[in-house]
């Protein structure tokens, strides 16, 4: 599930989800979307980005620890490395300076993005943060404050399928190149927001782009900045 090679059907790709994604879904309601769906492929034989895997991993973490994912994020990651503006994106608490999300209609006019309850993306993408905090996150990874050096190496090592094919994806991280420079990166998108964090390890360069409009191309912006640098 960490490497998107499980073959489990991604709930965010199902037609039913498009009708429900503005609602606050429970764990049970999310799982119902894919429970009876066939696997996309036998585990380990293919790669397909899959939000169900990370949602299930979050449920496992909560079950084993006896704590909510939000509490774990705060106690195990955010507080120890000083990410003061990062938290689980609950919709009810007042979060100072929380950005609003927008979308663009066919005429080019900006509109409010559709609302979404944060339990619906869950551990597949319900965090709020800032550029500065994401830089703190990357530095903590590079300095092995959160995971050991060996574990960080595994995160950045492409998984291989049963036939030996490389997936170009590690544990929650994509591995590639830009203009011949190694890059380790990941992007994300949710109603009203798009983000991209890219690390160029040989250049000791990290670029973070956070946007509050679904019409933006955070990855394109990030790559344009990287080329200028």
Q: How far apart are CA 52 and CA 10, in angstroms?
A: 5
The answer to whether the CB of 198 falls within 8 A of the CB of 185 is yes
Q: Is the pLDDT of residue 178 over 90?
A: yes
Verify that 138 and 213 share a domain, yes or no: no
Contacts of 137 (CB under 8 A, 6+ apart): 77, 81, 83, 86, 129
CATH number of the structural domain spanning residue 5 = 3.40.710.10
- φ, ψ for residue 69, nearest 5 deg: -60, -40
Q: What is the pLDDT of residue 203?
A: 95
Verify that 68 and 136 share a domain, yes or no: yes
Confirm whether 58 is domain-assigned: yes
Query: In this predicted model, which residue has the larger pLDDT, 215 or 34?
Result: 34
Q: How far apart are CA 123 and CA 172, in angstroms?
A: 12
Verify that 123 and 222 share a domain, yes or no: no
Q: What is the pLDDT of residue 20?
A: 76
User: What's the whole-number average pLDDT of the chain?
Assistant: 93
Residue among 1, 128, 130, 123 nearest 72 (CA): 123
Verify that 77 and 29 share a domain, yes or no: yes
Which domain range does residue 17 map to?
1-89+114-159
Split at pLDDT 50, 70, 90, the class of 96 is confident
pLDDT digits (tens, 9 = 90+) for 33-50: 999 999 999 999 999 999
Among 55-64, 113-122, 124-133, 137-146, the range scoring the smallest mean pLDDT is 113-122
Verify that 17 and 69 share a domain, yes or no: yes
Q: Is the pLDDT of residue 120 over 90?
A: no
The CA distances from residue 27 to 35, 58, 59, 122, 159, in Å, are: 12, 10, 8, 9, 28
Q: What is the pLDDT of residue 82?
A: 96
Q: Is the pLDDT of residue 162 over 80?
A: yes
Q: What is the pLDDT of residue 119?
A: 86
């Amino acid at each position: 599930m960490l490497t998107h090679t499980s073959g489990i059907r991604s709930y965010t790709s199902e037609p039913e989800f498009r009708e429900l994604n503005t609602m606050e879904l429970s764990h049970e309601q999310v799982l119902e979307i894919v429970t009876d769906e066939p696997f996309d492929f036998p585990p380990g034989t293919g790669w397909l980005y899959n939000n169900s895997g990370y949602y299930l991993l979050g449920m496992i973490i909560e079950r084993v620890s006896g704590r909510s994912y939000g509490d774990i994020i705060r106690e195990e990651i955010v507080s120890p490395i000083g990410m003061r503006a990062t938290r689980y994106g609950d919709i009810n608490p007042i979060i100072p300076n929380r950005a609003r999300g927008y979308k663009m209609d066919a005429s080019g006019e900006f509109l409010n993005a559709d609302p979404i309850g944060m339990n619906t993306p869950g551990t597949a993408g319900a965090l709020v943060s800032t550029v500065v905090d994401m830089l703190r996150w990357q530095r903590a990874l590079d300095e092995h404050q959160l995971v050991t050096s060996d574990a960080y190496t595994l995160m950045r090592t492409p998984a291989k399928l049963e036939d030996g094919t490389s997936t170009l994806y590690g544990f929650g991280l994509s591995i590639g190149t830009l203009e011949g420079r190694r890059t380790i990166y990941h992007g994300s998108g949710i109603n009203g927001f798009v983000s991209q964090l890219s690390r160029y390890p040989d250049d000791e360069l990290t670029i973070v782009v956070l946007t509050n409009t679904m019409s933006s191309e955070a990855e394109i912006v990030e790559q344009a900045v990287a080329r200028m640098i």
